[in-house]
Amino acid sequence: MKFNHPMIRVISSGKYAPPTLITNEDLEKLVETSDEWITTRTGIKTRHKATDELTSDMAVKAALNAIERVNYDASKIDLIIMATITGDQSTPSTANFIQAKLGLVHEVMSFDINAACTGFVYGLEVAASMLQTGRFRAALVIGAETLTKVVDYTDRNTCVLFGDGAGAVIIEPSTLDRHQAYFFNAAKGDLHNTLTVVNKIKMDGKKVYQFAVDAMEQAIRKVLEDAALSPEDIDIIIPHQANERIIQSVSKSMGIPMEKFMLNLSEYGNTSAASIPLTISEYFDQNDTKNKKILLVGFGGGFTWGSAILQL
Ligand code: UT7
C-alpha cells in the first residue's frame, strides 16, 4: 500500500544546556581515566550538568528559546511530545509539567515518548503523523535529559560519555509538496540488555558500537531511498552525538564526507534524546536554513534506531 508522506513546516528550534561543566580533568579525579583516552576514543571534552534544574525546567527553556526565535504565538501549540528517559517523575508525564510551566492552559494533548537516544526522531514522526490528520495546529517536540542523575560515577565505561541538555522544535502542518517529510524508525527489543537504566546507566559499549554503525547506515539509506534523494542532495546530516568514531565509521563506509555531519559532542557529550534537537537548534543559530534539506539519524537503547529528512 502506498502511504502519504506527512507535509510539515519546521517553524523554529531552540536549545538549553545548564551552565555547569564536567571536564575530562574532573573525571580523572573520579575514575581511572585520562583526557587523552576520552578524547581519542570518543571526541568528548566536556558535558553540561544540571545542578538544581529538573528535566522539565530545561525543556521549557529550550521551548522558550524556539518560541522567542520567531516570536511565535504559543497559544497555537496544541500538541506537546516530550522524548526523554530521565523525566521528572514516572507520572504525570514530563510533557504535562512543560505544558503547565509554559502557561498553555488551552486544550493541549501532551505526553512523553521513551525510545532512548532515538526518542526525538520517534517523537517527530509521531507528531508529523498527528499533524497530518488535520486535528492539530502546531506541535512542540522536545528532547531533554538530566542523564547526570543516572550516571554511575564509579563506572569509567559510561561516566565519561553522558551529559545534560534540551532541544525543541515547533512544527506546523503544511500544504506544500516541498515540505514532505520522510521517516524511518525501528526497534529490536531482543537487544534490550545492551543499554539499560535501572537506577543507573549500564551499557555494553562495544555491542552498542557495533550495532550503531550498521543501524545508522541502514537508517540513512532507507530514508534517502524513500525520499528518492542522494547524500549530495542533503545540506546537513545531524546524527545522534554519541561517539565521534561511530560517525567517522559511517562517513567512511558510506563515502559521505565528515563535513556533511554536524558535530557538537566535544562540548555536550551524549545527551540521549536531547542530542539531535540541540544540534538542530545550533544549525538554526549558525545558518540561513531557508530551503535546506536536513537528515536526522539516531540510535540508542531498546535497541532503537531511526532517521528523518526534513525540508525547511
Ligand atoms: O546513545 C547510545 C549510547 N552509547 C553509545 O553510543 C556507546 C557506544 N560505544 C562506544 O562509544 C565505545 O564502545 C566506548 C567509548 C564506550 C568504549 O570505547 P572502545 O574503544 O569500544 O573501548 P573498549 O570498551 O573496547 O575498551 C578498551 C579499553 C578497556 O581496557 P582493557 O580491557 O583493554 O584493558 C577498557 O576497560 O579501554 C578501557 N576503558 C577506559 N580506559 C580509560 C573503558 N573506558 C575507559 C575510560 N578511560 N573511560
Mean pLDDT, residues 76-85: 98
Domain of residue 153, CATH code: 3.40.47.10
Strands (E) across the chain are located at 8-16, 20-23, 46-49, 79-83, 109-113, 139-146, 164-173, 182-187, 195-198, 200-203, 236-239, 293-300, 304-311
- pLDDT value of residue 206: 92
Q: Which residues pair with 111 in a beta bridge?
A: 81
Domain that holds residue 224: 1-312
Does residue 2 carry a pLDDT above 70? no
User: Considering Cα of 159, then 161, then 167, then 172, what sign does the dihedral take?
Assistant: negative
Distance between CA atoms of residues 186 and 206, nearest Å: 21
Residue 169 pLDDT: 98
When divided into structural domains, the chain yields a total of 1
Contact by Cβ (8 Å): 232, 202: no
How much is the average pLDDT of 176-191? 96
Greatest pairwise CA separation for the chain in angstroms: 58
Q: Residue 41 pLDDT > 70, yes or no?
A: yes
Question: For position 4, what pLDDT does the model report?
Answer: 81
Q: What percent of the chain is predicted at pLDDT more than 90?
A: 97
In this model, does residue 1 exceed pLDDT 70? no
Pocket of ligand 1 contains residue 118 by CB under 6 Å: no
**Rounded mean pLDDT, 271-282:** 98
Q: Ligand 1: which residue has its CA nearest to atom 48?
A: 156
Q: Atom of ligand 1 at shortest distance to CA of 159?
A: 48
Our answer on whether the CB atom of 42 is closer than 6 Å to any ligand 1 atom is yes
What band does 3 get if pLDDT is binned at 50, 70 and 90?
Answer: confident
